[in-house]
Amino acid sequence: MQRLLVTGGAGFIGSNFVHHVVENTDHHVTVLDALTYAGNRASLDGLPADRVTFVHGDITDAELVDTLFADADAVVHYAAESHNDNSLHSPRPFLDTNIVGTYTLLEAARKHDRRFHHISTDEVYGDLELDDPERFTENTPYNPSSPYSSTKAGSDLLVRAWVRSFGVQATISNCSNNYGPYQHVEKFIPRQITNVIRGIRPKLYGAGENVRDWIHANDHSSAVLTILDKGRIGETYLIGADGERNNKDVVELILEQMGQPRYAYDHVTDRAGHDLRYAIDSTKLRTELGWTPQYADFESGLAATIDWYKANEAWWAPSKDATEAFYATKGQ
């Protein structure tokens, strides 16, 4: 049994990870989360109180972080400002949380000599052409496009420097686009599902040819547990499940699965600097650590996600109107 400290555990991927840990291990989890607009305490409802402790606080609070690291065996760091569109509108919180927050945690990891796993994104590598036969690997040069991805890239580099300079026992993973339950309605898939439920037409940025490499959040969680267990200190592992699809196909699949005509969506203003394509080669994680994804079938994973949003309107409804009002100001 380990005592895990999970930052950002009330967010989308962090909360899926906490559920996964409770269901698949005997670890105890302490969640540290600031409950920003993206955090939701209800995402942890139903978890046993003797397995999960919730601490409401900020990862830039060095004193609080120090206390929590003292009581943890290992730390998994999900907390971030995570939405590209928000970073184009208001970058400052991305610098505070993603850069200064990660720095604050690294200093505590160094002081207490704790195992630290840093959650990052494939977006640090920039984007690929649609017809490029290459995919991202651990050796692809960093080339981030947005304020969000540049702050994630900066946080990855801080982790590497704290490993090399101070011997911090850290690993990094860069994952592709996640889908599944508990994802905020600002993000592409939940936005379109909840639009259809509300009778609003889905909104596709630009022509919709941009490709994302989809992975179910549970597969991300199992990969992170594998890296915590068997990953080599100082190494980076890419996490992906061979799920490339363009946005237009995804919108049309959502409409079809929800009983609507496949063409019943709108093209709206494109995202500034919109990355064209992400694609992950996860050979290192699969061959060195023996990980394999379990949710290979995107269609059935998407259908289950649609069912979850239909059944959990009380979870997402409080955020929906404000999210759509913000998009409307940008013609999106």
User: Which residues participate in catalysis according to the annotation?
Assistant: 122-123, 148
HSE-CB for 271 with a 13 A CA cutoff: 23
Pick one of 16, 30, 150, 177: the residue that binds ligand TDX (CB under 6 A). Answer: 177
Nearer to ligand TDX, 28 or 212 (CB): 212
Pick one of 4, 34, 52, 193: the residue that binds ligand NAD (CB under 6 A). Answer: 34
Distance CA 205, CA 88 (A): 15
The answer to whether residues 299 and 305 touch, using CB atoms and an 8 Å cutoff, is no
CB of 215 vs ligand NAD, minimal distance in Å = 8
Distance CA 37, CA 321 (A): 13
Token readout for 297 is 């079938």
CB of 324 vs ligand TDX, minimal distance in Å = 10
Q: Determine if 99 is a binding residue for ligand NAD (CB under 6 A).
A: no
Distance CA 27, CA 73 (A): 10
Q: Are strands 215-216 and 266-268 parallel, antiparallel or unpaired?
A: unpaired
Q: Determine if 117 is a binding residue for ligand TDX (CB under 6 A).
A: no
Q: How many amino acids of this chain bind ligand NAD (CB under 6 A)? A: 30
Distance CA 253, CA 299 (A): 8
The answer to whether residues 175 and 215 touch, using CB atoms and an 8 Å cutoff, is yes
Distance CA 157, CA 146 (A): 16
Q: How many amino acids of this chain bind ligand TDX (CB under 6 A)? A: 16
Q: What is the CB neighbour count within 10 angstroms for residue 70? A: 11
User: Does residue 163 sit in helix, strand or coil?
Assistant: helix
Which parts of 57-96 interact with ligand NAD (CB under 6 A)?
58-60, 78-82
Which parts of 192-211 interact with ligand TDX (CB under 6 A)?
203-205, 210
Pick one of 43, 98, 104, 121: the residue that binds ligand TDX (CB under 6 A). Answer: 121
CB of 8 vs ligand TDX, minimal distance in Å = 11
**Binding pattern for the stretch 182-221 against ligand NAD, x by CB under 6 A and - elsewhere:** --x-------------------------------------
Distance CA 44, CA 307 (A): 19
Q: C-alpha 214: how far from its chain's center?
A: 11
212 binding partner (options ligand NAD, ligand TDX, none; Cβ < 5 to 8 Å by kind): ligand TDX
Q: Please, which residues have CB within 8 angstroms of residue 160's CB and are 6 or more apart in sequence?
A: 172, 234
84 binding partner (options ligand TDX, ligand NAD, none; Cβ < 5 to 8 Å by kind): ligand TDX
According to DSSP, the residues that pair with 226 across neighbouring strands are none
Q: Determine if 225 is a binding residue for ligand NAD (CB under 6 A).
A: no
Pick one of 7, 15, 30, 84: the residue that binds ligand TDX (CB under 6 A). Answer: 84
Pick one of 31, 39, 79, 123: the residue that binds ligand TDX (CB under 6 A). Answer: 123
Distance CA 31, CA 56 (A): 8
Nearer to ligand TDX, 43 or 177 (CB): 177
Nearer to ligand NAD, 32 or 131 (CB): 32
35 binding partner (options ligand TDX, ligand NAD, none; Cβ < 5 to 8 Å by kind): ligand NAD
Nearest CA-CA partner of 246 in 227, 216, 274: 274
In terms of Cβ atoms closer than 10 Å to its own Cβ (0-12, 13-18, 19+), residue 242 is middle
Q: Determine if 33 is a binding residue for ligand NAD (CB under 6 A).
A: yes
Distance CA 279, CA 211 (A): 8
Contact residues for ligand NAD (CB under 6 A)?
7-8, 10-14, 33-36, 38-39, 58-60, 78-82, 97, 101, 119, 121, 152, 175, 177-178, 184
Contact residues for ligand TDX (CB under 6 A)?
82-84, 121, 123, 177, 187-188, 191, 203-205, 210, 212, 247, 271
